[in-house]
Chains A and B, each alone.
Chain A
Amino acid sequence: MPISQELLDILACPKCITSVVLKERQKGSGLICPACKVMYPIREDIPVMLIDEAIPVGDDGEPKAGYTSEWK
């Protein structure tokens, strides 16, 4: 089940509390924190808002080399 807009409206980066932005990707969607420049993965429709799971992203919002949004 996709994440509701109402939930998306209140999801925030657990580290800096900035609102996150949905980034839909074929290889795995996520929620970008523009301040921390990380993406919190969405796995099986569950937003994973754990600091340890945050994936560094580049300016294009794509995971940096060597990182993946798949399960570790």
Chain B
Amino acid sequence: MEKDSVSCLVTGAAGFIGSHLSERLLSLGYCVIGIDSFMDYYPRAVKEKNLLQLKNHPRFSFVEGNLLHFDIGPYLSRVKYVFHQAAQAGVRASWGSSFAVYTENNINATQSLLEACKNLPHIEKFIYASSSSVYGDTPLLPTQEDAPLHPVSPYGVTKLAAEHLCYLYWKNFGIPTVSLRYFTVFGPRQRPDMAIHRFIRSTLRGEPIKVYGDGEQTRDFTFVSDAVEANILAMKYPRSGEVFNIGGGSRITVNKLIELIQTLLNKSVEVQYLRTEKGDVGHTYADTSRAKRELGFSPRMGIQEGLWEEIQWMKDQLFQD
């Protein structure tokens, strides 16, 4: 770690968004300390690939560790910015006995990290990766940040609880938190359980695409570089205790999404419609005017260009496999 560069801590640095964020920070001249516990929600090998471009960078250090059992203090003493991207992801898997994994890794881990940030006035910003899942199945579209918060999945409950912790640790201890509510992030390195990844993979392999529901549900898809940019903008935001919607502005039905993917790949496969899964919402659509006004956030990558990027990445992955 170079002593003259400002340092950042990125939790979940081996993950989809965390790895892109780490690269962006390095490109801006920051030092990055990454931590990841390589949770087995999806294969370790995928996350190791995410780290490939980072591992040999002279300003990147990485530790495999679990925030629940880790002395993070010495790392926090060396950083000015904390990007808390680590979480147990996945709406559909958060039911039943798996819930404890979500509470531990999303709520307890966040609390542990916030506790460690107390009495560290040199930390300029603590940026928390929240989620559109905190809104639940809202009829208020586009959704503003002050809409009622009624998560319909246990995952959403844990993301909201952690967001509340970020607020109250700011309120009580002055930890400079900002929460970013991501709306369905996509792009290269997207997690293999996510819809766009599954649809592209199925189409490339000539296998049926499985859709939960009738396909008329909509999502406000956000390209990963736009989500990353929101974090960069939040670093210099003068206020704390705030929350912002981070949406890509590309709201589209799942059926239309599949049509786009198949057009871009010039290939069609069968689409199988399955029962809607518990915890899934009908529609998401972010009102990002607060992020635009306060952070200067403006998404740059549309759905078609973003899909093309993810398709190219996926083709490279399948070729390597």
* Cβ proximity bits A28-65 to B, threshold 8 Å, 1 near / 0 not: 00000000000000001111111100000000000000
9-residue interface stretch from B65-73, B136-144, B149-157: B65-73
A50 with B56: in contact, given A6-B1, A12-B71, A17-B71 (CB under 8 Å)?
A: no
A4 with B71: in contact, given A10-B78, A50-B66 (CB under 8 Å)?
A: no
B66 nearest in chain A by CB position:
A50
Q: Would you call B56 and A47 a contact (CB within 8 A)?
A: no
Q: Would you call B55 and A49 a contact (CB within 8 A)?
A: no
A49 with B65: in contact, given A10-B75, A10-B78, A12-B71 (CB under 8 Å)?
A: yes
B14 nearest in chain A by CB position:
A46
* Cβ proximity bits A1-22 to B, threshold 8 Å, 1 near / 0 not: 1011011011110110100000
A12 to B75, CA, bound (A): 11
B262 proximity list for chain A (CB < 8 A): none
B214 at the interface (CB under 8 A from A): no
Interface size for A (C-beta < 8 A) is 20
A15 to B70, CA, bound (A): 8
Distance to closest chain B CB from A15 (angstroms): 7
Q: Would you call A46 and B62 a contact (CB within 8 A)?
A: yes
Q: Would you call A12 and B69 a contact (CB within 8 A)?
A: no
Q: Would you call B69 and A7 a contact (CB within 8 A)?
A: no
A1 to B63, CA, bound (A): 13
B33 proximity list for chain A (CB < 8 A): 7
B44 nearest in chain A by CB position:
A71
B289 at the interface (CB under 8 A from A): no
Question: What band does the interface of chain B fall in when counting residues whose beta carbon is under 8 Å from A?
Answer: 20 to 34
* Cβ proximity bits B38-79 to A, threshold 8 Å, 1 near / 0 not: 000000000010000001101001111110011100110010
A18 nearest in chain B by CB position:
B71
* Cβ proximity bits B99-135 to A, threshold 8 Å, 1 near / 0 not: 0000000000000000000000000000000000000
A6 proximity list for chain B (CB < 8 A): 1, 3, 61
B69 proximity list for chain A (CB < 8 A): 14-15, 50-51
B62 proximity list for chain A (CB < 8 A): 46
Q: Would you call B63 and A11 a contact (CB within 8 A)?
A: yes
A1 proximity list for chain B (CB < 8 A): 55-56, 58
Distance to closest chain A CB from B130 (angstroms): 26
| Residues of chain A whose beta carbon lies under 8 Å from any beta carbon of chain B | 1, 3-4, 6-7, 9-12, 14-15, 17, 44-51
- Sort A-B residue pairs by CB-CB distance and give the 8 closest, nearest first: A10-B74, A49-B65, A14-B69, A48-B64, A12-B71, A7-B61, A6-B1, A17-B71
User: 9 A-B contacts, Cβ less than 8 Å apart?
Assistant: A6-B3, A7-B33, A7-B61, A7-B63, A9-B74, A11-B63, A45-B55, A49-B63, A49-B70
